[in-house]
Chain A
Amino acid sequence: MRIERLQIDGFGHFHARDFGPFDSPLTVLLGPNEAGKSTTLDFIRTMLFGFPARGREQYYPPLAGGQHGGKIMLRGEDGRRYIVERVGGTRGGTIRITTGEGRIFETDAELRRLLGQATEAMYENVFAFGLGELQAKESLQGAEVSGQIYSAGLGAANLPRALKRLADGADAVFKPGGSNQKVAELLTALQGVEARLEEARGDSAQYGQLSVRLAVIAQDLESAGVSAAHLSRRSSDLDRLRKGWAEWLPLVDLRSRRAELPTLERFPQSALVRLETSEKSVAEAETALRGATSEADDAASIANQHVPGEALLADEALVEQIRRQRGSFDGSLRDLPKRQHEAAEKQRELQASLAGLGANWDAGQVTAFDLSIARRDEVEQWRQRLEHAERDARESQITTRADALSASEADETLAEAQQALSSLPVPGLDAASIGERKTALRETRTALDQFLRAQSSREEAERRLDRFVAGASPASPRAGLRGSALGAAAVALVAIAGGFALGGNATILGLLLGVPVLGVAAFTAKTKPHRSADDRASRPDDEAALSRLALVEAGALVRLREFALPLGTRSPDPAGLDAMEFELESVTAALNAWTVAQERVAITNRDFARASRRATDAQEHSGECERQLSELRRDWQAWLTELGLPDSLAPATATAVLDRIGYTQTVIDDAVAAHHRVAAIEQDIHKFRAGVVELALRHGLAVGEAPATAGVVADELCRRFDSAIRAVARRESARATLAECERRSQACEDKLAERRRLLHALLAAAGASDSEDFRRLDALHTEAARFDQLIREGEQRLVVLSGPGERLAAFLATLRGTTIDAIDTEAEALDVELQRATAERDHLLDERGSTSARLASLSSDETASDLRSQRETLLEQLRSAAREWSTLTLARHLLERARSKYEAERQPDVIKHAQSFFRTVTDGRYKTLISPLGSNNVTIIGQDGGHKTPEQLSRGTQEQLYLALRFGLIRQFAQTAEPLPVVVDDILVNFDPDRQYRAAKAFAELARTNQVLVFTCQPATAEMFKAADPRTQVIPFSGQARLLG
């Protein structure tokens, strides 16, 4: 395979660069440092094997632009052409391979085939390398050297490292004798789990034993239960005997003592209590009888008493009336003088108020006067109407005075305006005339400017003609005459033209002036000499131009005079026009002032007429207001008179009079009311006193004349009445009490008799003669009953201990047949036996509990299950580890065997080729290379037969050795695959010139099979390659590369 061309789109600082074609088998690319040789070398590698998987962004980014990547044109050994295009991207970048036949491949499979399946590492180490790669090998030591080289040759640069990693990986999993490896740790863990499982199995074995033991315990417990029950029963018997003994002995004593007491068969129950109760009730009945008798005596003494003043009770209604009026009577006595004084005061106030209204007013008139709201509203309406009329009259008078003043002022202003107008001169021109003159002035000024420019042009032309005439024949005195003739002709023409333009006399004048002048000009022109050849060429032009300018000037003059005609001048000049314009501005200002004064007179005249009309109208309106006011006042006075009021009253005064009348009406009402109150009080006093006098006389009391004595007598009558009421009530109450006491005395007597009968019946029932005897008999009866109770209780306790009936009899018989000592002795012995049996049973119960618990624990123990689960997990991990170890071990085994096979089968060729090259380069100084089978080392045998290792060689010779090994590998590779291009970058710098040349020769030899591209910055190196092979193509690298497109 050959590289024919490189096209870099964007790669490092290269952009749109084209290298090639590389036609020769050996091509030297010569360029200075930093020209991009290494970049180009990496571009070739990248195109063939792709962009790196990582750090692509930093890998020769297209700094100068373009798409990251480019093209490489290849030609296979079969002559087929390939264009490999690759751009940056994942997985080595996007590749597109196009063949010469137009086939397109989107994957790199075809390229890999073309590369003989060489790996990138292999290509980089063997086929495309620089000094760096070469020197990197130099740093390797001993066995690693050839290992690396061979690995590179194998297409597996990582072989030593791969073998080491696989070995390390396998050793980390398992190593015979090791203890820290994964397998060893798992085995240790497994053994631990199994040991614990064995313990758990022991626990399970216990289960059967414990089950049997539990059954035995159950039987023992049953036997112990029977025995304990027997002992317990006997112990209970003895206990009962002992208790029975304690009961039985006192019972015998009680029976003996009871026999000594009598038996009172019918003695009453609770006799003593009943006796004391009966005696107590008799005593209580006697006390009650005495109390009732005493109370009856007290009531009888009151019931028979006399009540004084009892007759007054018959006049109860009269007394109650006096009592009700008593308080009012005192109040009337106190109030009467004050009310009499008030009545007198009101009368005086009434007289005064009537006097205030005038002599003609009395109480009747005042009372009858209408003071309604309607009347008051009438007065208010009168007041408003009068006020309105008075205000209108006042305001019309003010307006009349103001308007008269305004008319007087307008008259004065009109006089002033007329005087100002008469003082101004009357203008000579009107505005239209002034406008026409201004237009004529502006047009005349424009025409004058045109005329002056035409005149100036004509004069300039004349001066040029004069200078021409003078220049053409300076010695000829007639030159000036001819110029003058022409100027005169021009003036004549202007004059004639101006005359025709102005018309009339001006035409004639133009002809009179122009014709003679024109004749003089013609004469002068006929006398001119012959011109030189050059003069003849230009003179007719100047003369014609002068004639044209003269005609233009004449035309301008005609227009000037035509425009100046309205201004009244035939020869206007700038100064005259300026004076005319100034005068015209003055006339315009005077016309403006006169017009303003005239307008002011007209305005003031109109103002005066309006003010005069307003003054007349105001005077008429004022007279009308006065008339209406007088009429209204007359109506008001008539209304007052109709009411009986003075007609001189103003509305406000009339309102005050009405108020005064209203006040007097109130005073009259108050005076009448005061007199009525005094009369009523006096009547009340009289009526009270008459009643008191009547009642007092009937019950023997006297009443004095003074009004107050009636009150004192009334009070006495009431007091006597009240006292009689209370005494009668007390007497009636005593009489009722007496009857009740008499009834109660009788009841007490009956109760006492009954209770005494019951007491005697109780004594009789007990057979007692009296109470004392009764108490003695009761004491005997109580004692006997107590003994009987004790005996019954003792017998009952014995029944409780023994049981009733025959069992009691047997129990008593047993008691009679033994002693307490015998019972105690047997009980003590039995206690000892019972304690022993209980302890034994407790022990069995404890054992049964613990055994049951242990069985329950064993049956529910999860430990063994957990351990088995752990064991399975560990076993699986162990199997997995074993498989991992097996994989790594087999992988290593495969690599080692493959390497051995490779070394055994292929190394001789590599070494043979390398040896040949090394010998050539060193000029036979080193003739043999040896790499023993199974060894990674290379031994170099010198001319003298001495052996050396690579590190014993000089630096340059080492590099030659490594280059030789690469040559061997390249040759060997070519035997099984397509020969690949070899690309080297300045690798000969450490070689001496002689060996450089020999190496160059070797490369030339290699170029017979493999294309060789040499990058160098040394022109001498290029020359050397050229010398080594004249067919060598040297391409200047930096400046000669063509731009794409």
Chain B
Amino acid sequence: MTEFRFVHAADLHLDSPFKGIQAVAPSNVHARLMDATFLAYDRIIDLCLSERVDALLVAGDIYDAADRSLKAQLRFVDGLKRLDAAGIRSFVCHGNHDPLNGWQANLRFPDSCHQFGPQVEAVELDPARPGLATIHGVSYPERDVKLSLVPGFGRVSGDAFTIGLLHANVGSNPHHGSYSPCSVEDLRATGIDYWALGHVHTRQVLNQHSPVAVYPGNPQGRHPVETGERGVYLVDVGADREVRLSFRDVSVVRWAQVAVAIDQLESDQELIDAIDSGVAAAFDADGRDVVCRVTVTGRGPLYAATRKGDFSTTLQARINDEWSHGAPFGWCERVEVNTKPAFDREEQRQAGDFVGDLLRLVDDIQSDPVQLAALREQLGTLYGHPRAKKYLGSSLPEDGELGALLADAEARALEQLLGVGAL
């Protein structure tokens, strides 16, 4: 039997722009994308109200302080006020994107909302029911918290169910910044029953029991790689301290990746059919709007067709003409072509001509870190350029990416050398 229940959310990133889109969206799509994080947050509040939870827990990165978005902070407080009016308490900690020393509008939070400070605090989940549950939490005093904040939680004791509210990189997830790095073991050592974590955008349950450690992920994907369902966890805690997790998708716009390989395709029509089929499947998202990226890969006879100058734009326009005007819409933000020529590279590599020399050279470079480093240095002409460094400095291709880049360069060189039709 449920003793109490709460919603665990994190990484709202209200009013933060979508990333990774280079195309200019049509007006209806643009308006929807601009409002998507807010609408997802509204759905979280609606969920709290409809499920009559006792509290909403937000584990940091509510907004990006660097953006100084008034709208984000106002809408956030508006949502908390709705909860307050319904008698639902809220608990908020701040993360690396919205640290305490970051810009904040002079807003008044409702009395039922508790914002954790730079030191770990413990507050009753419900003052009217003392001893039911205690929430321990801490906010980032500044953006770069490179040391773990978990030790600050100490070792909790008592009969009350304990919840830790923390923004941190647990388990050193390589795809996210190393803020407040710690391990599950560190969390377990605190004796806290449920860790309401934030920071990692892909939902995952790090630990099922003692403690339960959960990343709900961000409620609205904001990048082509943030695909699939996005939302929050509805957490029921029983009288026996048993935790039941229920994920709820609150996203408004869903991201999708459509990958089509040309290896087995023979004709342009087959390629179009494959893309249409993939796109139609991606756009079927429970009535949600969908932004997709189509990636054409593989080696095959259709390589020349995919390398035509207007292939990507024509295909993108074709998809968007059909899908982007409806409601819900499906919008293809990019068609990426990563195809390779169908010719037998290994055989060509054995040839005694220039092409053979070229392919062998590429292989030499790929396997030689010194040569790769030299290439990176060569690319520094752009990535290290005084004007561009600010924007591209962090994008200088690493080894793996450089390898892929080199493969693309090889294909491009062969294209120019032999003509697309000959490949």
A binds B: yes
Evaluate contact between B353 and A154: CB separation under 8 angstroms.
Answer: yes
Beta-carbon nearest neighbor of A870 in chain B: B17
- Tell me which of A156, A207, A873, A879 contacts B354 (CB under 8 A): A156
Contacts of A377 in B (CB 8 A): none
Name the residue in B301, B383, B405, B417 with the highest tally of chain A Cβ atoms < 10 Å from its Cβ. Answer: B417
Contacts of A219 in B (CB 8 A): none
- Choose the segment among A733-741, A754-762, A819-827, A897-905 that binds chain B (4+ C-beta atoms closer than 8 Å): A897-905
Evaluate contact between A869 and B105: CB separation under 8 angstroms.
Answer: no
CA distance in complex: A875, B20 (Å): 8
Q: How far is the CB of A881 from chain B (nearest CB, A)?
A: 9
Evaluate contact between A155 and B355: CB separation under 8 angstroms.
Answer: yes
Evaluate contact between A894 and B413: CB separation under 8 angstroms.
Answer: yes
Evaluate contact between A894 and B358: CB separation under 8 angstroms.
Answer: yes
Whether A212 touches B106, Cβ cut-off 8 Å, given contacts A162-B416, A886-B379, is yes
Contacts of B375 in A (CB 8 A): 890, 893
Beta-carbon nearest neighbor of A200 in chain B: B68
Query: Is A5 interfacial (CB-CB < 8 Å)?
Result: no
Contacts of A159 in B (CB 8 A): 354, 417
Q: Is the interface of A mostly helix, strand, loop or mixed?
A: helix
Query: Is A861 interfacial (CB-CB < 8 Å)?
Result: yes
Q: How far is the CB of B269 from chain A (nearest CB, A)?
A: 14
Number of B residues contacting the other chain (C-beta, 8 Å)? 64
Query: Is A992 interfacial (CB-CB < 8 Å)?
Result: no
Evaluate contact between B395 and A879: CB separation under 8 angstroms.
Answer: yes
- Tell me which of B103, B348, B358, B395 contacts A205 (CB under 8 A): B103
Query: Is B21 interfacial (CB-CB < 8 Å)?
Result: yes
Evaluate contact between B417 and A868: CB separation under 8 angstroms.
Answer: no
Evaluate contact between B413 and A895: CB separation under 8 angstroms.
Answer: yes
Evaluate contact between B416 and A165: CB separation under 8 angstroms.
Answer: yes
Whether A183 touches B105, Cβ cut-off 8 Å, given contacts A158-B419, A886-B397, is no
CA distance in complex: A890, B411 (Å): 11
- Tell me which of A204, A871, A880, A898 contacts B358 (CB under 8 A): A898
Q: 0/1 per residue, A852-883, Cβ < 8 Å to B? A: 00000011111011101101110111111011
- Tell me which of B357, B395, B421 contacts A882 (CB under 8 A): B395
Q: 0/1 per residue, B3-27, Cβ < 8 Å to A? A: 0000000000001111111111000
Evaluate contact between A882 and B388: CB separation under 8 angstroms.
Answer: yes
Q: 0/1 per residue, A159-190, Cβ < 8 Å to B? A: 10110011000000010100000011001001
Q: How far is the CB of B138 from chain A (nearest CB, A)?
A: 25
Query: Is A118 interfacial (CB-CB < 8 Å)?
Result: yes
CA distance in complex: A82, B362 (Å): 35
Evaluate contact between B22 and A869: CB separation under 8 angstroms.
Answer: no
Near A by CB (< 8 A), chain B positions 168-210 give: none
Evaluate contact between B417 and A156: CB separation under 8 angstroms.
Answer: yes
Evaluate contact between B361 and A894: CB separation under 8 angstroms.
Answer: yes
Evaluate contact between A117 and B356: CB separation under 8 angstroms.
Answer: yes
CA distance in complex: A122, B417 (Å): 12
Whether A886 touches B405, Cβ cut-off 8 Å, given contacts A119-B422, A901-B357, A976-B352, is yes
Query: Is A211 interfacial (CB-CB < 8 Å)?
Result: yes
- Tell me which of A119, A161, A860, A872 contacts B18 (CB under 8 A): A872
Q: How far is the CB of B307 from chain A (nearest CB, A)?
A: 13
Near B by CB (< 8 A), chain A positions 116-171 give: 116-122, 154-156, 158-159, 161-162, 165-166
Q: How far is the CB of A602 from chain B (nearest CB, A)?
A: 105
Query: Is A885 interfacial (CB-CB < 8 Å)?
Result: yes
Beta-carbon nearest neighbor of A895 in chain B: B413
CA distance in complex: A187, B105 (Å): 31
Query: Is A657 interfacial (CB-CB < 8 Å)?
Result: no
Near A by CB (< 8 A), chain B positions 62-101 give: 67-71, 74
Q: How far is the CB of B356 from chain A (nearest CB, A)?
A: 7
Whether A208 touches B105, Cβ cut-off 8 Å, given contacts A868-B17, A876-B19, A894-B361, is yes
Evaluate contact between B106 and A208: CB separation under 8 angstroms.
Answer: yes
Contacts of B412 in A (CB 8 A): 166, 887-888, 891
CA distance in complex: A208, B70 (Å): 10
Query: Is B111 interfacial (CB-CB < 8 Å)?
Result: no
Q: 0/1 per residue, B328-363, Cβ < 8 Å to A? A: 000000000000000010011011111111100110
CA distance in complex: A865, B34 (Å): 7
Evaluate contact between B103 and A864: CB separation under 8 angstroms.
Answer: no
Evaluate contact between A204 and B105: CB separation under 8 angstroms.
Answer: yes
Evaluate contact between A889 and B379: CB separation under 8 angstroms.
Answer: yes
CA distance in complex: A184, B388 (Å): 9
Q: 0/1 per residue, B377-418, Cβ < 8 Å to A? A: 011011101011001100101000000011011101100111
Q: How far is the CB of A867 from chain B (nearest CB, A)?
A: 9
Contacts of B23 in A (CB 8 A): 873
Contacts of A918 in B (CB 8 A): none
Whether A891 touches B34, Cβ cut-off 8 Å, given contacts A158-B419, A886-B382, is no
Whether A211 touches B405, Cβ cut-off 8 Å, given contacts A117-B351, A183-B388, A876-B21, is no
CA distance in complex: A860, B382 (Å): 39
Q: How far is the CB of B237 from chain A (nearest CB, A)?
A: 37
Near B by CB (< 8 A), chain A positions 394-408 give: none
- Tell me which of A158, A190, A886 contacts B417 (CB under 8 A): A158
Q: How far is the CB of A124 from chain B (nearest CB, A)?
A: 13
Contacts of B244 in A (CB 8 A): none
Query: Is A53 interfacial (CB-CB < 8 Å)?
Result: yes
CA distance in complex: A201, B102 (Å): 13
Contacts of B361 in A (CB 8 A): 894, 897-898, 901
Evaluate contact between A898 and B382: CB separation under 8 angstroms.
Answer: no
- Tell me which of B22, B301, B357, B416 contacts A876 (CB under 8 A): B22
- Tell me which of A117, A869, A871 contacts B34 (CB under 8 A): A869
Contacts of A973 in B (CB 8 A): 352-353
Contacts of A187 in B (CB 8 A): 387-388, 391
Contacts of B348 in A (CB 8 A): 117
Query: Is A109 interfacial (CB-CB < 8 Å)?
Result: yes
Q: How far is the CB of B116 from chain A (nearest CB, A)?
A: 22
CA distance in complex: A208, B73 (Å): 12
Contacts of B410 in A (CB 8 A): 891, 894
Contacts of B355 in A (CB 8 A): 117, 119, 155-156
Q: How far is the CB of A750 from chain B (nearest CB, A)?
A: 90
CA distance in complex: A876, B355 (Å): 34
Query: Is B30 interfacial (CB-CB < 8 Å)?
Result: yes
Beta-carbon nearest neighbor of A197 in chain B: B67
Q: How far is the CB of B376 from chain A (nearest CB, A)?
A: 10
Beta-carbon nearest neighbor of B222 in chain A: A872
- Tell me which of B16, B357, B405 contacts A898 (CB under 8 A): B357
Q: 0/1 per residue, B133-177, Cβ < 8 Å to A? A: 000000000000000000000000000000000000000000000
Can you give 28 contacting A-B residue pairs, CB < 8 Å?
A109-B344, A109-B347, A119-B422, A155-B351, A155-B354, A156-B353, A156-B417, A158-B417, A183-B388, A205-B68, A207-B70, A208-B105, A859-B74, A864-B69, A865-B17, A869-B30, A873-B24, A875-B19, A882-B382, A886-B382, A886-B405, A890-B406, A892-B413, A893-B375, A894-B410, A898-B361, A976-B352, A977-B351
Known contacts A119-B418, A204-B103, A211-B106; 20 further A-B pairs (Cβ under 8 A): A91-B301, A117-B351, A118-B353, A159-B354, A159-B417, A162-B413, A190-B391, A859-B71, A868-B67, A869-B33, A876-B19, A878-B388, A878-B391, A886-B397, A887-B412, A890-B375, A890-B379, A890-B405, A898-B354, A976-B352
Binding site for B on A (CB under 8 A): 53, 91, 109, 113, 116-122, 154-156, 158-159, 161-162, 165-166, 174, 176, 183-184, 187, 190, 200-201, 204-205, 207-208, 211-212, 858-862, 864-866, 868-869, 871-873, 875-880, 882-883, 885-895, 897-899, 901-902, 973, 975-977
- The 8 A-B pairs with the shortest beta carbon distances in the complex, nearest first, are A976-B352, A154-B354, A155-B353, A890-B409, A162-B416, A117-B351, A208-B106, A876-B22
Binding site for A on B (CB under 8 A): 15-24, 30, 33-34, 67-71, 74, 103, 105-106, 301, 344, 347-348, 350-358, 361-362, 365, 375, 378-379, 381-383, 385, 387-388, 391-392, 395, 397, 405-406, 408-410, 412-413, 416-419, 421-422
